[in-house]
Structure 1
Amino acid sequence: MMSHQDINLRFPKGRTAFFIIHGVGQQNPFETMDYFARNLLKYFDNQSLPLKLEHLIAKRRLSNGSIWTESFVRVSSIDSEQNWLVDIHEYYWAHNTENKISIPELLQWAEQTLDGTIKFYNRQENKDLLQRLLADNKRKSLFQFRLRSLTMFLRLFNLVYPALRLVLWLILLLVGPFLRGRFLQSAWKLSKQLVTPLLVNFVGDVAIYSITDPKSPYQKIRQQILTESLTLLKAILKDKQANYDQVILTGHSLGSCIAYDTLNLLCIESTLTPNKSKSLLLDKIKGLITFGSPLDKIAFFLRETAQQDQYIRQRMLEHLNSFRVKPEFALQSTYLTQNPVICQLEQIHWVNYYYLKDPISGHLDYYENLDNIEMKYQASWGLEGHMGYWTDPSFYENIAERFLYASNESTDNQKFVQKVFHSQS
């Protein structure tokens, strides 16, 4: 028999949607949703929360107006009297960047990034930032060696890549009659897949997305990713059937940058077309969760900047990318001090999770009004450290505590506890 003392249930509050954006790599559709949903279910199971899981579909439109069907999953109570639900939506963008950038282009990007990093810290106004960075021994080693190591690796790989690929292509041609499965494809294309390290594919995604030069062909890819992300987010906010109380943007790795840039675009759009109904929709966005995020690295080393004497252009670029940016990182000028972009997303609670052995993530220092949470799971440096968030129980516990739970003393909780207690008597 279950007693009142045995029951310590808490229930999610209202109707929540997680809008999840995956990071770098060769993901397949629904993989990110699967990761998040499975581990969130594990957390709820550990809380003895009675629930059900459903696969739902919704009619959506792309930015060009064409119709597609979105699949998402819903976690809700098995008790009809409980009206809470947690929907998990996924924005899938991996197909936009996969195998799009060449090794020489990637090497050029890495060289420019390293050069930009050195120039950034050599500026007089950034000397204090450099000293603070070097004062932290853990972050010092990461700064001093990781980017240089990556650049050296790409230089060496670029040197041997043509020969390696040619040798592998010849081998594949000779053994072609004996191949099966996924090896039954063009030997030339397959040689590229087999000889290219996973690291190159990961860095390639970051390189393509971080190129903001409008003259680059990759700028169109970046713009397409952001446009579709914003379109799907708006559809979720406007969904009358789901009628969400809160929407939480959740981005892993490069997905955190897409989530941030999506919100930055919303700030600009709400400034251009302000109205009451649109403000009510934007008020539903209650959270931004970033984990394994390179936002600081991109902001410091990869963002578009003007030449030193182009203070007008520099200020304009800052205004157009100003969501939660600390004022001290803006150009000090007596001109153009009024930002025309009036951000209306102050209600968003931003939480950034990072792990010291994750080479992509870090404590976010470029932005304000956010909580930086260092994770403590056990993982080796590199890919394992970068992926460890997904399976760490404390990650989901922290998210639930911040965004999902109503008070233990709520009327709904007490009613359900009474119902369970009497059914067990």
Structure 2
Amino acid sequence: MTDKQKKPRLLKGRTAFLFIHGIGEQNPYETVDFFTHNFINYFDKQSFAFNLEHLIAKRRLSSGSLWTESFVRLKSTDSNEDWLIDVHEYYWSTYTEKKITVPEILQWAEQTLDGTIKFYNRKENQPLLDSLLANRNRKTFFTYRLRSLTILLRIFNFLYPVLRMAVWLILFLAGPFLKGRFLQSAWQLSKQIVTPPLVDFIGDITIYSTTDQKSPYKIIRQQILRESLTLLKAILKDKQANYDQVIIAGHSLGSCIAYDTLNLLCIEASLSQDKNKNLSLDKIKGLITFGSPLDKIAFFFREVAQEGQYIRQRILEHLNSFRVKPEFAQKNQYSIKSPVECKLDRVRWVNYYHLKDPISGHLDYYENLDNVEMKYEASWGDQGHQGYWFDTSFYENIAERFLYVANQDEE
């Protein structure tokens, strides 16, 4: 039988995908729709016969409050095949919606860039900087773009109120000739026109990447992670679904939430009182990141200790250590044993990126993962960042890695 005639078999088992959406204006179930819809298109081309079902399950929030989760199931119509695929979604956008202002975003961005520059200019961090600059792309960014970003932010910080006033003046003078939504306050409308793209996209990153423990946004970040971990554990322990494997996947900033959720799970599993507790960690088989800014988050937004605080620095590194390469630990004369014993060594991590996607990239900060470059046609920017959802090869690669039984030649 030729390769073209071979038909791979779906993994005989029960699979759950937990998808986490990215930044911007998101609506509930959009992530489920995107993934399931395009996976169905891929499966149709493979001539698989299946039923599509909408199911509900009783869940609890981390506070204990009950809620009803909706998810989608693909199940074989052939009674001889016992596979099913459930697609779950973690929707976190409500936690960050309209929670931050433009001046706060600009202040955060400038402080982050200034702090990053100062951190990598320290003498003791020279080896770390050398490791970063060894990568050509990193060298270009650090050498030429970091200072430029700081300058641009300062210019925009000056231009924003001027732009706001200009839009307000136009709306105010044109008021008698406008109708519909333009009849509202010209000042409020000018804010809506000028700020939404900045607040909706960068605002999510600002809130989630805040490292100041005293910031009110730190509480939002903690809540996002608590609920993500609570839902993941509920799926792992779901007796009715009884999954054989659970795969957590995240797009854009959602990939950072997915990663941080697994990192938090490692910490929880390392607690002495939980060591004998069945967390069903062996069911977690995969981590899928696509359009991921994880390297950028690690390099520019991670929490760092002040100069000389080597004990605090080591504690921070231990608490954020999942698959981090050892060479990115800050060097000092004392070694401190980590209390975090990662229980997720068998998780297969696949990172998908595209060269026209300004958010994603080849992840160099982490180890034990596969970086897969996507080749779909796209222009630089949003098209490159969103193209994964529509690329058939993306779904084919996921299926080959996680769903199919290993190919066997027919005798």
The answer as to whether partners of 1:306 and 1:313 remain within 8 angstroms in 2 is yes
Deviation, 1:226, is 0.5
Deviations for 1:274-303, whole angstroms, at most 9, x for unmatched residues?
344524x11111100011111111111211
SS at match of 1:278: coil
The answer as to whether partners of 1:142 and 1:359 remain within 8 angstroms in 2 is no
Go from structure 1 to structure 2 and tell me whether the alpha carbon gap of 1:252 and 1:176 turns closer, same or farther (over 3 Å shift).
Answer: farther
Go from structure 1 to structure 2 and tell me whether the alpha carbon gap of 1:350 and 1:376 turns closer, same or farther (over 3 Å shift).
Answer: same
Go from structure 1 to structure 2 and tell me whether the alpha carbon gap of 1:184 and 1:92 turns closer, same or farther (over 3 Å shift).
Answer: farther
Aligned to 1:243: 242
Aligned to 1:158: 157
Deviation, 1:379, is 1.2
Aligned to 1:284: 283
Go from structure 1 to structure 2 and tell me whether the alpha carbon gap of 1:147 and 1:382 turns closer, same or farther (over 3 Å shift).
Answer: farther
Deviation, 1:394, is 1.1
Aligned pairs (5 A) from 1:164-243:
164-169=163-168, 175=175, 179-180=179-180, 188-196=187-195, 198-243=197-242
Deviations for 1:263-322, whole angstroms, at most 9, x for unmatched residues?
11111111113344524x111111000111111111112111112211111111111111
Which moves more between the two structures, 94-103 or 297-306? 94-103
Deviation, 1:117, is 3.7
The answer as to whether partners of 1:116 and 1:302 remain within 8 angstroms in 2 is no
Deviation, 1:151, is 4.4
Which moves more between the two structures, 8-17 or 69-78? 8-17
Deviation, 1:6, is 6.3
Go from structure 1 to structure 2 and tell me whether the alpha carbon gap of 1:397 and 1:149 turns closer, same or farther (over 3 Å shift).
Answer: farther
The number of equivalent residue pairs is 403
The answer as to whether partners of 2:21 and 2:251 remain within 8 angstroms in 1 is yes
Deviation, 1:393, is 1.1
Which residue type is aligned with residue 104 of structure 1?
P
SS at match of 2:57: strand
Which moves more between the two structures, 191-200 or 290-299? 191-200
SS at match of 1:236: helix
Which moves more between the two structures, 329-338 or 394-403? 329-338
The answer as to whether partners of 1:319 and 1:341 remain within 8 angstroms in 2 is yes
Structure-2 separation of matches of 1:301 and 1:400:
34
Tell me the TM-score normalised to structure 1 length: 0.87
Structure-2 separation of matches of 1:338 and 1:217:
32
Which residue type is aligned with residue 360 of structure 1?
I
Structure-1 separation of matches of 2:148 and 2:304:
25
Aligned pairs (5 A) from 1:21-170:
21-122=20-121, 123-134=125-136, 136=137, 150-169=149-168
Deviations for 1:131-188, whole angstroms, at most 9, x for unmatched residues?
3223x5xx655555665565455434332333433454466566489544x6686655
Structure-2 separation of matches of 1:67 and 1:116:
42
Deviation, 1:234, is 0.9
Go from structure 1 to structure 2 and tell me whether the alpha carbon gap of 1:316 and 1:176 turns closer, same or farther (over 3 Å shift).
Answer: farther
Go from structure 1 to structure 2 and tell me whether the alpha carbon gap of 1:176 and 1:34 turns closer, same or farther (over 3 Å shift).
Answer: farther
Percent identity between the aligned chains?
Answer: 68
Which residue type is aligned with residue 210 of structure 2?
I
Go from structure 1 to structure 2 and tell me whether the alpha carbon gap of 1:6 and 1:338 turns closer, same or farther (over 3 Å shift).
Answer: closer
1:347 and 2:346 are equivalent in the alignment: yes
Which residue type is aligned with residue 278 of structure 1?
N
Which moves more between the two structures, 139-148 or 223-232? 139-148
Structure-2 separation of matches of 1:43 and 1:150:
41
Go from structure 1 to structure 2 and tell me whether the alpha carbon gap of 1:197 and 1:64 turns closer, same or farther (over 3 Å shift).
Answer: closer
Structure-2 separation of matches of 1:310 and 1:239:
43
Where in structure 2 are there 5+ consecutive unaligned residues? none
Go from structure 1 to structure 2 and tell me whether the alpha carbon gap of 1:337 and 1:254 turns closer, same or farther (over 3 Å shift).
Answer: same
Deviation, 1:401, is 0.6
Deviations for 1:315-337, whole angstroms, at most 9, x for unmatched residues?
11111111111111113344343
Deviation, 1:79, is 1.9
User: Over the residues paired in the alignment, what is the CA RMSD in angstroms?
Assistant: 2.6
Tell me the TM-score normalised to structure 2 length: 0.90
Go from structure 1 to structure 2 and tell me whether the alpha carbon gap of 1:111 and 1:58 turns closer, same or farther (over 3 Å shift).
Answer: same
Structure-2 separation of matches of 1:385 and 1:398:
18
The answer as to whether partners of 2:102 and 2:198 remain within 8 angstroms in 1 is no
Deviation, 1:260, is 0.8
Structure-1 separation of matches of 2:127 and 2:270:
31
Deviations for 1:219-255, whole angstroms, at most 9, x for unmatched residues?
0110110011011111111111111111101011111
Which residue type is aligned with residue 129 of structure 1?
S
The answer as to whether partners of 1:107 and 1:151 remain within 8 angstroms in 2 is no
